[in-house]
């Protein structure tokens, strides 16, 4: 039997479609698919034979990329996985949760989710009479008592590491508590990627990604994905919801994700190394008040991150000594890092959560979650490490005298 290939080899390998012998995956830019006869079309329409019909239902380019994503996220599993690419990370979350939840049900989650997800749960799902219960998911006892106190909780939805303070949640522990209570477990694995963390192995039923971030890696497309074991009973309804709401990915964005995946391990290794170096530099700088990076032994989640991730990721945040004014001035003073509200690109990006991603979150909620006016979030890129550290040094020292 052939030996199982390493994760990075699978990332780099081409995927092919039976429709073409091109070495590199072609973009099938076609809204519909032709049949040789009406009889052949009837076989596909009635489900007797597999085949492509219409772009919103599926496309060979998209299917090839889905197969690769399923292989990577399910890398440690014996069972096969399935993936469904969607138009964005938000539509992946929306499509998955809509397939599971009914009026009267509740979702158990954390207060420090991606902002769009919090809004989706409170506004869109709230209007459908689906309740959102937020607790500190790093505390197993609060998870247990929430589940005991609300028998309508049907789904545990979580993110780890969290944005922007990089707190980590022990997936294995709380997934097992949720499963004991008959809950579906869904994890947003955008920050870690399957290269660093595999929630399906740790007990999750479904993983979603904003592939817009690390999986694409180059900041040139928006897409998302839902991944779970092929045997999940929810798949027919998930696919139906995607098809009927038109939350499908387009072939070009799927192709860009595939192009990005080829270098995921290389990019991630370099980005993790750079993040570690930058975190250590900031941690020792007298004008920096606090650094949030799970790779630092002083970070509250260091041990959990070490246990469930193969490296600590490339996201970090830090508080400069001073107020909002000093944080903004440091950001404006950066030459290499760009100010942009995304993450996971090959170049370093900074964001000021207080005035951007968390602008619509109440100040006291922000402060309770460690989001202060002097906090800067960094998505660390693949630049030369010394150049990067020097950029932050000059920006900080220009503003705050040591
Ligand atoms: C960006 C992001 C999303 C939303 O993804 P889009 O592709 O922008 O729709 C969801 N979760 C996390 C953690 C994200 O960073």
Residues with CB under 6 A from ligand 1: 88-90, 114, 116-117, 159, 163, 188, 190-191, 210, 212-213, 222, 224
The string of pLDDT tens digits covering residues 353-395 is 999 988 888 888 889 889 999 999 999 999 999 999 999 999 9
Does residue 286 carry a pLDDT above 80?
Answer: yes
Q: Is 213 a catalytic residue?
A: yes
Residue 401: the pLDDT is 79
Of the residues 85, 112, 114, 214, which should be mutated to test ligand 1's pocket, given the most ligand atoms within 8 Å of the CB? 114
**Could you tell me whether strands 338-339 and 315-320 are parallel, antiparallel, or unpaired per DSSP bridges?**
unpaired
pTM value?
Answer: 0.96
Does residue 19 carry a pLDDT above 80?
Answer: no
For helices 385-399 and 264-284, the axis angle rounded to 10 degrees is 40
Indicate which residue of 154, 213, 276, 377 is catalytic.
213
The rounded mean pLDDT for the chain is: 96
Token pair of 68, please?
């690769």
* pLDDT-based confidence at residue 277 (cuts at 50, 70, 90): very high
Residue 402: the pLDDT is 67
Q: Which of 17, 15, 24 is nearest to 52 (CA)?
A: 17
| Cα-based distances in Å from 341 to 31, 219, 350 | 32, 11, 8
Indicate which residue of 52, 63, 75, 114 is catalytic.
114
Distance separating alpha carbons of residues 169 and 177, to the nearest angstrom: 13
* pLDDT-based confidence at residue 273 (cuts at 50, 70, 90): very high
* pLDDT-based confidence at residue 1 (cuts at 50, 70, 90): low
| Cα-based distances in Å from 147 to 94, 103, 185 | 23, 18, 13
Which of 9-18, 72-81, 320-329 bottoms out in mean pLDDT, i.e. has the lowest?
9-18
């Amino acid at each position: 039997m052939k030996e199982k290939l390493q994760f990075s080899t699978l990332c780099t390998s081409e995927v092919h479609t039976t429709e073409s012998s091109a070495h590199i995956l072609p973009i099938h830019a076609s809204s519909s698919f032709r049949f040789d006869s009406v009889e052949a079309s009837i076989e596909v329409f009635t489900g007797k034979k597999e085949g492509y019909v219409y772009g919103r239902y599926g496309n060979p380019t998209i299917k090839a990329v889905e197969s690769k994503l399923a292989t990577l996220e399910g890398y440690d599993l014996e069972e096969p996985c399935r993936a469904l690419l969607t138009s964005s990370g938000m539509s992946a979350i929306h499509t998955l949760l809509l397939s599971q939840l009914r009026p009267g049900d509740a979702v158990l989650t954390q207060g420090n989710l991606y902002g769009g997800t919090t809004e989706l749960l409170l506004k869109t799902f709230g209007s459908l009479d689906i309740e959102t219960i937020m607790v500190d998911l790093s505390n197993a006892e609060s998870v247990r008592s929430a589940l005991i106190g609300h028998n309508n909780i049907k789904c545990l939805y979580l993110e780890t590491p969290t944005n922007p303070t990089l707190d980590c949640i022990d997936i294995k522990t709380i997934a097992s508590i949720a499963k004991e209570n008959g809950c579906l477990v869904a994890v947003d694995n955008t920050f870690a990627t399957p290269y660093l963390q595999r929630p399906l192995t740790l007990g999750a039923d479904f993983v979603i990604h904003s592939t817009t971030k690390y999986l694409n890696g180059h900041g040139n497309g928006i897409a998302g994905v839902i991944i779970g074991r092929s045997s999940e009973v929810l798949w027919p309804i998930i696919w139906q919801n995607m098809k009927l709401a038109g939350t499908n990915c387009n072939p070009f964005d799927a192709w860009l994700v595939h192009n990005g995946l080829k270098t995921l391990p290389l990019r991630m290794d370099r980005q993790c190394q750079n993040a570690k170096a930058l975190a250590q530099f900031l941690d020792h700088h007298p004008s920096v008040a606090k650094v949030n990076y799970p790779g630092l032994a002083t970070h509250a989640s260091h041990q959990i991150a070490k246990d469930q991730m193969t490296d600590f990721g490339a996201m970090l945040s830090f508080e400069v000594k001073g107020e909002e004014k000093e944080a903004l001035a440091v950001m404006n003073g950066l030459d290499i890092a760009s100010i942009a509200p995304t993450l996971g690109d090959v170049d370093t990006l900074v964001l000021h959560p207080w005035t951007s991603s968390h602008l619509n979150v109440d100040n006291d909620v922000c402060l309770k979650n460690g989001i202060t006016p002097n906090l800067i979030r960094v998505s660390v890129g693949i630049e030369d490490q010394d150049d990067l550290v020097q950029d932050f040094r000059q920006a900080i020292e220009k503003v705050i005298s040591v």
